[in-house]
Copies of this chain bind each other. A is one copy, B any other.
Amino acid sequence: MSIIFSRKCEYGIQAVLLLTTEQQGGIHTAEEIANRLKIPKEFVSKILQELTVNGIIFSKKGKSGGFALAKNPNELKLLDIVLAIDGPDIFNRCVLGFPNCSDKAPCPLHYKWSQMINQTFNMLGDETMDKFKQLTINKIESIQ
């Protein structure tokens, strides 16, 4: 199957979106996140840890602990989440897998693709956060 993001990355983005729908400081446990998104708890725990290490979210240990957004959602870009989870490969690697693809020796998709990548992966910055939140809330509800 062709995929765009790894499963890990999909779950990570979903989790961040869920946290985004809450007030700043609204804290959720890994189990709660897993249940609402219907994804494996242990797996999402690992991903939440990576997001924590990379400063996208923060974690509170111990009883009544959990996870919450570290940044103001307005400053958050999709780029940051993907970088935190899967690293820079998706941006460095040629979309068709040609090893020497570059601006100077571009593959047939090179220009359109990097244009698209820039547009898409910076999107959480220029969308208004209200609209974004609303869409996300709809989505979370539609899962349940």
Contact = CB atoms under 8 A, between A and B. Distances in A.
B2 A9 contact: yes
A142 interface: yes
Q: How many copies does the complex hold?
A: 2
A113 interface: yes
Nearest to A105: B142
Contact of A135 (B10, B108, B142): B108
A139 B2 contact: no
B13 A6 contact: no
Interface of A: 1-7, 9-11, 13-14, 17, 38, 78, 82, 85-87, 89-90, 93, 95-101, 105-109, 112-113, 116, 119-120, 123-124, 127, 132, 135-136, 138-139, 142-143
18 contacts: A2-B6, A3-B4, A3-B90, A4-B4, A4-B90, A5-B96, A5-B97, A7-B97, A13-B96, A14-B98, A99-B143, A105-B138, A106-B139, A107-B135, A108-B135, A108-B136, A108-B139, A109-B123
